[in-house]
Structure 1
Amino acid sequence: MAASSRPDPAGARNPDRCRPAALQARLQGEQRFTADVAHELRTPLMGLATAAELLSQELAADYVRDRVKVLGGLVEDLLDVSRLDAGVEVADLLPCALGPLVADCVRRTGLAVELREEEGTGPAVGTDPRRVDRILANLIANAHRHGAGPVVVTVGARRVDVRDHGPGYPDELLAQGPQRFRTGAAERGRGHGLGLTIALGQALVVGAELEFANAPDGGAVATLLLPDADPADPGGPGDPGDPGDPGDPEE
């Protein structure tokens, strides 16, 4: 039977009937999230304990530094997810020329990316440069970690495509969207699966759309669709400047 978005008349008449089920679903979701967080933190912590016991002091120090970096990135990602879930994030929207903004974002990743800009990229977009930087950093990092090169970023009128040439997104992700702590398929590699979740959440904050698809000839494609700049805004498209440190993208 096809799914329907039609509201339940009985539930509409008596909304209290819907609350226990909604509360139970929320509690189950939080329990799964807590269990997932515990698992993701336990793995590097166990590695630290093993390194301290078995490795030489020099090797252990290198390993500890690497694991601390991983843990720090995970904690930052969890804080991002928490703020997005709480709905407390507010965008600082500015009129921006999309081409220079994306070029700066790509440069800051330090990763190998082929940047293409279509002719007639259109008027300025209205967005938050810092959040766009966060979105693109996570999309590019995901393409490198879970896909295969070349990674191509194409800038068009109000849109940015991030494409890799790997196995593509798994069917589960295409059907349900990104799920935290779920990478979806073994061939997409390992990771704690927060990067695409954060990218999608940040896109919603800036009023953008983020779509996921697979290219007909192979590879995953993420498309960011940004709104036009508000014509009532007296400012013109300016230099996006440095959006600040967006934090390490989730790998």
Structure 2
Amino acid sequence: MRLTPPRWTGTLAVKTAVFITVMCCALAALLGALVHVSVTNQTVGQARDQALSRLTDAARAYQAGDTLMPGAGIDPPGLPPALRELAADGERGTMVAEHRGRPTMWAAGPADDGRALAVAVDYSQQARTIDGLDRAIVWSAVPAIGTTLLLGFLAVTRVTRRLHATARVARRISAGDLDARVHDDRSRDTGGRDEVAAVAAALDSMAASLQGKLLSEQRFTADVAHELRTPLTGLHAAAELLPPGRPTELVRDRVAALRTLTEDLLEISRLDTGRERLELGTEELGALARRVVRATGGGTEVRVVRDARVETDRRRLERVLGNLVANAHRHGRPPVTLSVNGPVITVRDRGDGYPGYLVAHGPQRFRTEGGAKGHGLGLTIALGQTEVLGARLEFGNPPDGGAEARLTLPQRPPAQGARPDGSM
């Protein structure tokens, strides 16, 4: 069984705080160990020199037959066995050991008959000095680590706050809000710009470039559609003057297709501007679905599971459903069913299903697959009008075959002129 760690463990602030804490603890431990070793060596060295000096004086007194000084003696009780053996072998040495419940520095050297001459020096003061130093190191390290952690966390929080702001703007741009910008103050300073500011500046530059290209594409689409409208009107009038016959029917059919394509392009350009206005009214979805089916020429079964009255723009909703039904007949196979279940309207056919790219990313204008005829504008217009309505349009392929478009109308109507992303 694989356990997933909590989300907070993956944040940069937490990782940085853990890293700072570990590094501060390691640094404090290293410095404390170095200070401890240095002071201990110095303290022990001084005590050892003092004990050896007393041992030298005691050896002179012993050789002269004088009385030994206090703390000195031959094989005194409490002398560590290891130090006694060292003295018996003719060597001098020192050792710290407990004697009568107190730390003592022993110094021992050889005496006659294999005995040891030893001197005991009180080591209590030195031991207290070392213990006090260790406590001071620990208690000074704790606030130092806490202060460093706090300052580091505040510094990292400032960086992560800017990163989160940049991420929010990136998500807004991906959702279609091309006016979103980071506007990081440090991004304007080209000399002292840090990495976060560089990312923010790059994101703002990318958004501006993308917005410019899309606006240029939208203007081009609108200009082409408007320029085509006038000659197509003349061509349509000329086609009406042709004598009856098969060639005339072909010409009129192609002119009608061009006029439909031009009107679709104009509608898409209007949707791209985001300035469409809703004309709200209360509509009964069952009756509206039947009107749409009649307008498309029939051949579609209407099922009203649960009727509903919603406040919506009737013309736009009919346009969406009409395009979905027409697409089902054109690219799917019968039977085509239009179902109403409260605010959810479903259009389904029994064809080969929607292409994978359409299910994953939505319809794309002028893209078709599998040799299908059309320009991919019908579903693009349906999706655009759905956004104006504040509704949600989803495409999928049911497990038992066919294609299904699900339109979910909002429970509350959006404000006049408002788009789903909140822009006007």
Task: Please report the TM-score for the alignment, with normalisation by the length of structure 2.
Answer: 0.45
Matched position secondary structure for 2:404 = strand
In structure 1, the residue matched to 2:275 is 88
The answer as to whether partners of 1:127 and 1:229 remain within 8 angstroms in 2 is no
Q: For this pair of structures, how many residues does the alignment match?
A: 209
Give the secondary structure class of the aligned counterpart of 1:186: coil
* Structure 2: runs of 5+ lacking an equivalent: 1-163, 171-180, 188-199, 414-424
Question: What CA distance in whole angstroms lies between the structure 2 residues aligned with 1:229 and 1:104?
Answer: 24
| 1:102 corresponds to 2:289 | yes
Summarize the alignment of residues 50-199 of structure 1 with structure 2, pairs less than 5 Å apart: 58-118=245-305, 120-121=306-307, 123-183=308-368, 185-186=369-370, 189-199=372-382
Does the CA-based 8 Å contact 1:148-1:166 persist in structure 2? yes
2:167: which partner in 1? 6
Give the aligned residue type for 2:290: A
Tell me by how many angstroms 1:28 deviates: 4.8
TM-score, normalised to structure 1's length?
A: 0.73
Opposite residue 69 of structure 1, the aligned amino acid is: A
Letter in 2 for 1:136: L
Q: Which has the higher contact order (CA 8 A, sep 6+)?
A: 1
Secondary structure of residue in 2 paired with 1:126: strand
Superimposed CA distance per residue, residues 197-245 of structure 1 (whole angstroms, 9 cap, x where no aligned partner): 1001101111111111111111110011112366xxxxxxxxxxxxxxx
Equivalent residue, structure 2, for 1:217: 400
1:73-105 deviation line (CA, Å, top 9, x unaligned): 001100110000001111111121111111111
Change (3 A) 1:16 1:26: same
**Structure with the higher helix share, 1 or 2:** 2
Partner SS, residue 279 of structure 2: coil
**Corresponding residue SS for 1:6:** helix
2:327 counterpart SS class: helix
The CA distance in 1 between the partners of 2:214 and 2:365, in whole Å, is 11
Alignment of 1:23-42 (within 5 A): 23-29=208-214
Structure 1 residues 6, 23: closer, same or farther in 2, change over 3 A? closer
Contact 1:80–1:198 (Cα < 8 Å) also in 2: yes
What value does the CA root-mean-square deviation take over the aligned residues? 3.1
**Structure-2 change in CA distance of 1:27 and 1:6 (3 Å):** closer
Q: What do the CA deviations read for 1:142-184 (whole angstroms, capped 9, x no partner)?
A: 111111111111111101100011111111011111111112x
Pair member with larger Rg: 2
| Cα distance in structure 1, aligned partners of 2:296 and 2:201 | 49
Maintained 8 Å contact 2:281/2:311: yes
* Structure 1 gap ranges (5+): 231-251
Shift of 1:60: 2.9
After superposition, what is the alpha-carbon deviation per residue over 1:103-122, rounded to whole angstroms, capped at 9, x for unaligned? Answer: 1111111141011110x33x
The whole-number CA distance in structure 1 between the counterparts of 2:280 and 2:272 is 20
